[in-house]
Every structure is written in structure tokens, then in C-alpha cells.
Amino acid sequence: MSKLVIVGTVAFDAIETPFGKTDKILGGAATFIGLAASQFDVDGAIISVVGGDFPKEDITMLQDKGLDVSSIEIVEDGKTFYWKGKYHNDMNTRDTLATELNVLADFNPIVPENFKDAEVVMLGNLHPMVQLGVIEQMTKRPKLIILDTMNFWMDNALDDLLKVIEKIDVITINDEEARQLTGEYSLVMAAKKIMTMGPKFVVIKKGEHGALLFYDDEVFFAPALPLKEVFDPTGAGDTFAGGFAGYLAKTEDYSYENLKKAIIYGSALASFCVEKFGTERMLDLDKKEVYKRILQFKSLTQFDIELT
């Protein structure tokens, strides 16, 4: 079992989908990543910041999942990061109705002393300088640094982003963002270009169309599970990343072969996340259900052709 450092937002989301709407509920990249990774009983720490308005029982819940929460800073006179969004009917696009950075504006991440030698670092979507700050606190080079990011940082902090990308092993990014970052329409070409920027592995997330893992001249594909209904996509990408990182931290094998398995686990966990609002489905998820879903992924993709 490797140690896993998770940095990202712990936040409030208010979500509207064709199926209903919520008030402020628990959300945030690090929350989803942590909940997914906790399925593997990892030795993980969440590094984040919340305001005095954040429910103590949500922090206790993360702790009960086996996560070190000592580096979730609580700014008592500050307010927690808040995002409000509305999904369109196709669930693939959404409008952001509100973003309040609040305490996140001055976030200064501190890696807990006993996690400075962690083997796996999962950098959730945040300002690239914050992500870089975490890498710089590590006392030895982690075996695997995974970065998630988004188009917002390409638009507003590209130079900083490129500095972080140079230092990581795996980037997870969606298809449109891969195209934006490289100017290449073909995802094969985009992935090749990103590999020259630093990462050995490129994971391109295509939402309901699955995810691609690129390494050298190899490519592996994990489909998204076709679902009767997608209730709320919020957090699916972070859950994917958390499942991916958690599986790797548990198995301590950072080979391409094992990364394939990790993206299947990530996809399986993400397929649960979208079944209910926010973190709801991830909170009551048990290992038996996860195993059953991995079997569904097998029957979805495995075939046996004898070549003559």
C-alpha cells in the first residue's frame, strides 16, 4: 500500500439537472477523489481549505473513510468555495451560474509531514501554482504524479500550467481541452504532443464516450458504462481520477498494464457517481457493488476472436 496525497477543492455545489435541483451540498474535486480512492482502503491525505461555514460532520465523514484530514485547513471567518451549475437536457453541457472562490483565493497547501514521502500524488483541478506548490513540498520524487486540469487554466495561466505539466507523470484532461492545449484535432496527435511536454501517460476523458489511455505508441480504451439514465454528472471526472489514483496506490504498480486496470476502475466508480446527486451514491457504495460493476465492464468489452 502506497501513501496517496490528494490536493483539490472541498466545497459546496448547487446543482440543477433535468431531474431536479439541490441547495448547497457537499462537493469539490478532492472530496470526490478522496471518496473514490477510499474504496481501495488507501493511506490517503486530503489537502484543501474550507470556511467556518463548512459542516464539521462532512470532515468527520472523510476521516471515517480512512482519509487524513489534518491538512484540510479551516478558515473560521471565511466562506467555503461554492459552485452553482445547471445541466442541459443532454447532460453533456452545463452552464456555470455562480463561482465564489472565497477561502480558495488565498489557499496555501501544506503537505502533512508524514505524507511528504508519499509515492502517489493526485493533483486535483486547481490553480497550477497551487499544484506546483504541493510537488515542491515532497521530500522525495513520488513514483507517480497525476494531474487533472481544465481549459480555465489554459485560458488564464498557461505558462504556470506548462510548468506543472513538465513535472508530472500522468495528465487527465478532456477531449476538447486536449485539442485546445495542443492545437491538434486528432486525439492521437494531441496525446503525442502532450507527451513531449512532460507526462509519460496521457488520459483523455470523453465523458459518456469513455476514456483513452496513451503511452508511447500504445493506446487503451475504457468505455463509459451505458446507463439507463445519468442523474447528475457532477464529480464524475474527479471520481474517475480518484479511482485511478486509488487503485494505483493500492497496487503499487505503475506500469502501463496496471494503468489500464486503473482506468477501468476509475470508469466503474464514475458510473456510480452519476447515478445520484453530488456525492450521495459514493457515500453508500460498497466493494461488492464495485466488483459487480467491474464484471459488467468485462462483459461490455471483452471478446475472444481466434485469428487463423
> Which residues would be at the binding site for its own copies (CB under 8 A)?
89-90, 185-189, 206, 209-210, 212, 218-221, 223, 226-230, 260-261, 264-265, 291, 294-295, 298-305, 307
Give the nearest distance from C-beta 214 to its own copies in angstroms.
8
3-state helix, strand, coil in the chain (%, to 5): 40, 25, 35
Nearer to its own copies, 51 or 237 (CB): 237
Nearer to its own copies, 89 or 108 (CB): 89
Nearer to its own copies, 198 or 210 (CB): 210
CA 238 – CA 140 distance, rounded (Å): 26
Give the nearest distance from C-beta 262 to its own copies in angstroms.
10
Q: Are 222 and 264 in contact (CB under 8 A)?
A: yes
Residues whose CB is less than 8 angstroms from the CB of residue 150 and which lie 6 or more positions away in sequence, other chains included: 125, 173, 174, 177
Give the nearest distance from C-beta 230 to its own copies in angstroms.
8
Question: Bridge-partner residues for 173, per DSSP?
Answer: 204
Nearer to its own copies, 57 or 217 (CB): 217
Give the nearest distance from C-beta 9 to its own copies in angstroms.
30
Least Cα distance to 281 among 249, 245, 234 occurs for 234
* Beta strand pairing call for 218-222 and 94-100: unpaired
Nearer to its own copies, 97 or 295 (CB): 295
Give the nearest distance from C-beta 296 to its own copies in angstroms.
9
Q: Where are the strands (E) in the chain, listed by range?
A: 3-7, 11-17, 20-21, 25-27, 43-51, 67-68, 72-75, 82-87, 94-100, 120-123, 144-148, 170-174, 201-205, 211-215, 218-222
Give the nearest distance from C-beta 183 to its own copies in angstroms.
13
Number of other residues whose CB lies within 10 A of the CB of residue 102: 20
CA 66 – CA 130 distance, rounded (Å): 24
CA 239 – CA 211 distance, rounded (Å): 13
Nearer to its own copies, 83 or 265 (CB): 265
CA 4 – CA 142 distance, rounded (Å): 10
Give the nearest distance from C-beta 182 to its own copies in angstroms.
13
Nearer to its own copies, 105 or 185 (CB): 185
